[in-house]
Chains A and B, each alone.
Chain A
Amino acid sequence: MALEHADVLRAAHLARLGLDEGEADRYRDDLGRILEMVDQLQSLDTDGVAPLAHPLDATQRLRADEVTEPDQRETFQRCAPAVENGLYLVPRVVE
């Protein structure tokens, strides 16, 4: 499946990765070649094969409904770039 310049820009936007035009061109070439390699998958007949999401056929274990985590705001916010009054700050979000 061929990759268009617009596909790269669209993926970059969905992934919130800033790319300039030059980079987008470069990534289109790289990604195009990677997808070409990946496209070998299309030649395989997988009718009737169930997708495998985890290598082991294990099932989810459940946790007891208990509060085990104490307040560690101060510790956690030590590595935060911008906080005030215990809140993480971001540029104004327009709803």
Chain B
Amino acid sequence: MHDQTLTGLAAALTAGEFSSRELTEHLLARIERHDGALNSFITVTGDQALAAADAADAARARGEAGPLTGLPLALKDIFCTRGVKTSCGSRMLDNFAAPYDATVVEKLAAAGTLSLGKTNMDEFAMGSSNENSHYGPVKNPWDLSAVPGGSSGGSAAAVAAGLVPAALGTDTGGSIRQPAAFCGITGLKPTYGRVSRYGMVAYASSLDQAGPMARTAEDCAHLLGAIAGHDQRDSTSVARGVPDYVEGLEAPLSGLKIGLPKEYFGDGLSAEVASAVREAIAVYESLGATVREVSLPHTHYAIPAYYVIAPAEASSNLSRYDGVRFGHRCENPSDLIDLYKRSRAEGFGEEVKRRILIGTHTLSEGFFDAYYKQAQKVRRLIRQDFLDAFEEVDVLMGPAAPTPAFDLGANKDPVSMYLQDIYTIAVNLAGIPGISVPAGFAGGRPVGLQILGTHFAEAQLLNVAHQFQQATDWHLRRPAFAEETA
């Protein structure tokens, strides 16, 4: 049962093939057996999951089950969960049990799903390999010597390994799409503001967005429908109706206009990834889509702009971790400055400190205009590139990452690590949605096809991704890791 999609499991629960408790017990047992090697969970909430499964089974017995009732999920450890540790992958919050649930957590519970636990991640969502976690790196189930991608690496690895059918991640510069690509699953970053950020620990507020990570686009459609929508508690969430994302999945793709940004197929793209992506695009042509080249001329500036804006916002967002009201506090501070400096030096890891320092520096007097203001102007140019492209085509396609999953420890230099996000980062600056779908393999490691749409085009992206998954079976491939008969 651990190989099934969310949609398949829902059907099985409805048909009474097994109960939510049986499913939950089975998955908890798999986590117990296999997660030692993967390290994809920080916290497993078995008792709560089983209690929720029983409640779901009871609801089903009363005839009160909805489409998602009784389905087990996992939550990136960035989402606040009442009474359960929310560490954000950081020593700073190792002792923090949130007093409230994030809006998405509330919504998923209201839809009848249950959580198996909190997944590992790069500390404060800063990273592209999940090597920046206080709780140690996560391994890629396709190859334990490879990274799962980041920052939602735990969610991606757990889904790929069949420990959970789907999970929530967050994406600030590619943190859903790149690990989805590296682990051979489907991951959707919605339009900025489509999903509430309330209760999601902030990294860079104008870029952060939560989204589903699952085996199929169809599963993502179900989950997005459950978590999307306006939230009174998040000023940046958008007051706009939520369409039925499942309804349109079957629409045919004839006449679909696909744009291939030429900047996404240039230097630095691995030949194997390029060929897998080209083959995927050929599949779309066979489905009746037309393909043309487009240009996103400011692509080159996306990483520089991001590494001004995101660290600037982060440096401010992370000031609340001061050892006063919650979180790590150093032993015996001699004075206030010592309390601050030692608590923060001990509580934060290296990459977080690096970004706080960058952000503090670029915001400081004398640098603000040259860095921050300039980056914001470039941000507008980058958004305009996309809006111009969507005047000509319906969706854009390209690789989710320049290479398949790289080896653990391969990118020691921060800048070379940052450059891994070349194809995903501009999307967050522009606020548009993007999805990564499995599209083949390179050297035994999965390759992701990234599909981008204009603001609020999630339904279209899911339709386009789903049709690909009806025509291919890349998304059905499972790693040999943790294979066992259900």
Contact = CB atoms under 8 A, between A and B. Distances in A.
B315 interface: yes
B307 A34 contact: yes
A12 B353 CA distance: 9
B418 interface: yes
A49 B357 contact: no
B177 interface: no
Interface in B350-381: 353-354, 356-358, 360-362, 364, 367, 370-371, 373-381
Interface string A42-78: 1010100111111110101101000000001001101
A37 B304 CA distance: 6
A91 B238 contact: no
Contacts of B379: 51-52
B206 A55 contact: yes
Task: Describe B's contact surface by its main secondary structure.
Answer: helix
Interface residues of A, number: 52
Nearest to A74: B99
A5 interface: no
A50 B239 CA distance: 25
Among A17, A37, A76, A90, residue most surrounded by chain B Cβ atoms (within 10 Å) = A17
Interface residues of B, number: 76
A58 B236 contact: yes
A56 B456 CA distance: 11
B442 interface: no
A40 interface: yes
30 contacts: A1-B367, A3-B361, A10-B361, A14-B364, A15-B319, A17-B348, A17-B353, A17-B357, A19-B353, A30-B354, A31-B354, A31-B361, A34-B307, A38-B362, A38-B375, A41-B374, A49-B380, A52-B377, A54-B236, A55-B428, A61-B235, A78-B99, A79-B97, A79-B99, A79-B325, A81-B324, A90-B339, A91-B333, A91-B335, A91-B336
